[in-house]
Structure 1
Amino acid sequence: MEERRSITLDTKPGASLKLSVYSSTPPGEYNPLSDVLVVFLNGLMLHRAAWSDAISHLIDSRTRAGKPTPTLLTYDRYGQGESEPDPTDPPGTPYGHDAGAVVSDLDQLLTQFARTEYKTPTEGPGPRLVLVCNSIGCPLARLYAASRPPDRHRIAGFIFLDSMMANTDFVSLFPDPGKHPLPEGVSPEDLRHARQKFAEYFHPSVANPERLDRRNLAEMLPHSDKPQLPPGPGGQPPRLVVIGHDWDEFAEQCEKGSLSVSKQVINAYVNPAWGAYNEGLTHLTTTTKENKVKIAKGCGHFIQKDDPVLVATEISDLLDEL
């Protein structure tokens, strides 16, 4: 059952974050996953509510199978969904806090949550973490993991759902139409249109409602395959599942949606680059099975919306491994 809460971070007393907590185990009942916390990290477009269907499927399926479910936490970042704006953002500009600030906020949120829910001392190790992420939530998870001191490496697993390509401006995915030969079915006008649309929607300089400044993200994470994810609890490498979108479905959505970029252009330039990026992510740890990217059949970029059952199944499988 969802318990909706509001929390004010000690480090930012001027605003509150909205979060939802799910627990399927009655108080006092033994749960071998009671020291695990599953945290969901949103992209820019979908807020915490977008995880609810996957969470419902997860809890229902594990309950029917007689399997325990740990505590699950979703939250809206500052300026996103139901949360208030970041009180430290400067006025008069669409650019506010950057990914580094988001990581610091996440650390503070989990510190306070662990102190309340797990009775963890302020400097204690805290629960084992599983991070389930979509889009920009994936690079945020990588930055958060890299920020942990050695005595607080508590991330036991990651699930990356169609990670944002953090090291591109998106426009440069497409070559200059006047300087390169074009594949069959792609005209110079098609390329110019794609460059314009991706510049309008996805360039790091494009502002967003939560005022998350992405302009330095490529400098923070210039590579998809490094730095390595740090070891988790007990010094063991964290489990990692990398899931990419269905190329055909994504191309279809790009053509028919507000982008109106043709499938030929997406399949010639965007999907191959994204596939290579996802393949690089599988090398961030030694526990990615066969270093393979799983493809979410029939899903576009928002996998948790297009196939919540798949997301629930992947989370459940990872929990079984823990």
Structure 2
Amino acid sequence: MADIEFITLTTKPSAQLSYSFQPSPEATKPVLVVFLNGLGLPQAFWHPVIAQLKTLREGRSIPSFLTYDRFGQGQTADRDPQDADAEDPTHGHDCLVAVKDVRQLVTQITSEKLGISDVNSVSVVLVGNSIGCALARLYAQEYPGTVSALLLLDSVLANSDFVSVFPDPDASDFDPASIHPIPAEAIRAVRAGARRIFHPDVGNKEGLSRRNLRELLPASDGPLLQGPDGHGPYVTVVGHDFDTFAEESSKMGPPKPVTNRFVNPYWQRYNEGLAKITESEYSKGPIIAPNAGHFVQKDNPEFVAQELNELLEKVL
């Protein structure tokens, strides 16, 4: 595992980010794999994936790897400097701000570690989990033609309030038969729990707000992304294992039958849309990560390494 280092972005000179960088052992086509955390797990959980991938690629070209913790996350103790004057520090900055930080980090790493002044000459592969998938999509949108491939692991439902996933028993057109045999009281409790924990109005300690994410990414199936060679990037969409996720969710509140009835089909439809953000011949999925809940890289790093290796075969 690479050592954790610290870097100061020239755009935010008063704070430091923690990161780890593992260079390619050979001077071939410059490819940089950037791992984008969700809100829940820091960069350390990507390192088993990298170790597995290196084993898979023994005797073949290996890219450079970059993991990092966003401001206020993991081993990055510093908060985003722009949050200092925020009315609500748990909503200090949005995903576009985080994406600009990624771009600046990639630019500096490319220059300082790879000795390449033109960041656009490096093939970037983005691997994201949860909200990291939203960041990956926004990065590819904001910097068209710069991302060669995306591996999206159980993406956040970017255009959802997480409450509307479940029917509303108090709506005028509600049909009790639509949730039978689940009682209305159970659905009310689940909706209340989703609003309390997952609604975009709920902030977080790193200050990365999701309030405007529905406006930034209003559809799962668009816009169509532009890759570096006149076509879309390679995109692999991975979803959680339904049973594993239902069991995982039951520990936080929603009973397994509720998750299986409403959440899993909703998420699957979202992932089916994600597979359309590039041309069909460059798209794979959605596929299911066996025995993996929401944090796929933690639950099945070998699977993630295999899917990433398949993408690298197309990029390297």
| 8 Å CA contact retained: 2:276, 2:283 | no
Letter in 2 for 1:253: E
Query: The residue matched to 1:172 in structure 2 has which SS?
Result: coil
CA distance in 2 between partners of 1:103 and 1:278 (Å)? 21
CA distance in 2 between partners of 1:320 and 1:139 (Å)? 24
Match of 2:43 in 1: 48
Equivalent residue in structure 2 for 1:226, among 217, 222, 225? 222
Equivalent residue in structure 2 for 1:139, among 134, 138, 142? 134
CA distance in 1 between partners of 2:169 and 2:22 (Å)? 50
CA distance in 2 between partners of 1:92 and 1:124 (Å)? 35
CA distance in 1 between partners of 2:273 and 2:284 (Å)? 9
Matched, 1:252 2:244: no
Matched, 1:117 2:113: yes
CA distance in 2 between partners of 1:124 and 1:145 (Å)? 14
Q: Which runs of 5+ in 1 are unaligned?
A: none
Match of 1:13 in 2: 13
1:246–1:309 distance in 2 versus 1, CA, 3 Å: same
Deviations 1:241-274 (A, max 9, x none): 000011111111111x1x2211111111111110
Letter in 1 for 2:175: H
Match of 1:96 in 2: 92
Equivalent residue in structure 1 for 2:188, among 176, 187, 192? 192
CA distance in 1 between partners of 2:248 and 2:119 (Å)? 46
| 8 Å CA contact retained: 2:106, 2:119 | no
CA distance in 2 between partners of 1:207 and 1:288 (Å)? 38
Match of 2:147 in 1: 155
1:288: how far off? 5.5
Letter in 2 for 1:137: G
1:124–1:317 distance in 2 versus 1, CA, 3 Å: closer
Matched, 1:174 2:166: yes
Matched, 1:86 2:77: no
| 8 Å CA contact retained: 1:99, 1:212 | yes
Deviations 1:157-208 (A, max 9, x none): 0000000010011011111114232333311111011111111111001111
| 8 Å CA contact retained: 1:251, 1:267 | yes
| 8 Å CA contact retained: 2:124, 2:148 | yes
Letter in 1 for 2:181: G
Match of 2:203 in 1: 207
Match of 1:307 in 2: 300
Query: The residue matched to 2:4 in structure 1 has which SS?
Result: strand
| 8 Å CA contact retained: 2:42, 2:73 | yes
Farther off after superposition, 103-112 or 16-25: 16-25
Letter in 2 for 1:167: N
Letter in 2 for 1:163: S
1:52–1:288 distance in 2 versus 1, CA, 3 Å: farther
| 8 Å CA contact retained: 1:62, 1:69 | yes
1:124: how far off? 5.0
What is the TM-score normalised by the length of structure 2?
0.93
CA distance in 2 between partners of 1:290 and 1:41 (Å)? 20
Query: The residue matched to 1:18 in structure 2 has which SS?
Result: strand
CA distance in 1 between partners of 2:291 and 2:41 (Å)? 18
- For the aligned residue pairs, the C-alpha RMSD in angstroms reads 1.6
1:7–1:281 distance in 2 versus 1, CA, 3 Å: same
| 8 Å CA contact retained: 2:30, 2:123 | yes
| 8 Å CA contact retained: 2:158, 2:218 | yes
1:50–1:290 distance in 2 versus 1, CA, 3 Å: closer
Match of 1:236 in 2: 231
Letter in 2 for 1:190: A
Match of 1:61 in 2: 56
Runs of 4+ in 1 over 4 A off after TM superposition: 287-291
Aligned residues with identical type, % of pairs = 44
